[in-house]
Amino acid sequence: MTITKELWGKTPEGKEVLFYTLKNASGAYVKLCNIGAAITSIVVPDKNGKLGDIALGYANPLDYIGDGPCMGKVPGRFANRIAKGKFTLAGKEYTLPVNCGPNHLHGGPEGFMNQVWDSRIEGDSVEFMYFSEDGESGYPGNMKVVAHYTWSEDNSLKLILTAETDALTVVNLTNHVYVNLNGDGSGTVLNHKLELNASQWLPTDPTLIPEGDPADVAGTPMDFVEAKPLGQDIKADFPALKYGKGYDNCWLVDGAMPGQLNTVADLWGDVSGRHMEVLSTLPAVQVYTGNWLKGSPKGKNGEYEDYDGVAIECQKCPDSPNRPDFPSTELRPGEVFEEAIIWVFD
């Protein structure tokens, strides 16, 4: 395993933009950036052994700051949505910036994904650290967050996310990488087959805030218990698919237990023969079929169109601070938030 560090340039504020490349003996590699602790490339072989980049990303590194898709980055302090940008914690109400219709999304416009993280090579891994101050984007408590990436000789990428706080707060972390297993810039992912280890999903209101109880996927377009093409039911006459112009929904991982690694999803590229397995310790997964990618900053291989990539975001449930029936997202002083996500490519 070799790890190289490259200085691309600086942000307008004078912060260094750094890239790290982790390459194994077969030549397969991942590239990471300190803007948002982002995954910017994943270069793995197809069925013929030809290497190709399957992660979506931008031609200009500065476009990773303030982009709509949250391309490849770690959002926070709270990934996904919080209704009306408000929650109550220990009897006190907190107000967050609203940046997605009436709701707060991915920590707001100044969220972790739009920050330049500290970074270092740590043995055979790359580690990014961000310190979020008390009151930042409305959240209580000073918080230290670490994203620790390791690339293996057998083409698996492991991310361990940790967080610590000095005051009661909430936290929900994931990585928002978009993949196209036929290769970045190759067109739609709607012919990719997806299988989810999830027999329940979270119905939402039209603004994508969960409402009511989890529902069984059986007999609905939300059923991926057996593998099917992403596009098979995407235009079905079904409220969830009309709200987001495709899939932008949360499923509950079957058999999820705190600290236990589970298979969450399997994805197959229809042309390349590539397969990606996603494992995680997290209890839920948001699947987003890139419904609004058109108009994004220019990609590494040209302009993106809607549905050119899919994000499989392992996380806790959206709006959890307002839903005591969901797995808790509270973090207290002395506790450590620690969760893992692993992408395995073959």
Residues 6+ positions from 201 with CB-CB distance below 8 Å: 214, 215, 217, 222, 249, 250, 251, 252
Please check whether residue 137 is in contact with residue 110, taking contact to mean a CB–CB distance below 8 angstroms.
yes
Rg value, the chain, Cα: 19
* DSSP for residue 298: P
Please check whether residue 157 is in contact with residue 127, taking contact to mean a CB–CB distance below 8 angstroms.
no
Q: Hey, what are 155's tokens?
A: 């083409």
Dist CA 167 CA 69 (whole Å): 30
Q: Which of 127, 136, 313, 339 is catalytic?
A: 313
Dist CA 273 CA 261 (whole Å): 26
Which residue carries 């990773």 as its tokens? Answer: 64
Dist CA 15 CA 38 (whole Å): 16
Q: Hey, what are 107's tokens?
A: 């920590």
Please check whether residue 266 is in contact with residue 195, taking contact to mean a CB–CB distance below 8 angstroms.
yes
Cis bond leading into 77, ω under 30°? Answer: yes
Please check whether residue 336 is in contact with residue 258, taking contact to mean a CB–CB distance below 8 angstroms.
no
Three-state DSSP at 308 gives coil
> Does the annotation count 313 as an active-site position?
yes
> Does the annotation count 275 as an active-site position?
no
Please check whether residue 107 is in contact with residue 75, taking contact to mean a CB–CB distance below 8 angstroms.
yes
Three-state DSSP at 144 gives strand
Residue from 5, 8, 4 nearest 65 by CA: 8
Residues in a beta bridge with 118? 129
Q: Which of 104, 106, 176, 192 is catalytic?
A: 176
- Dihedral over alpha carbons 37, 89, 317, 277 (to 10 degrees): 40
Residue from 228, 231, 264, 268 nearest 247 by CA: 231
Annotated catalytic residues are: 176, 313
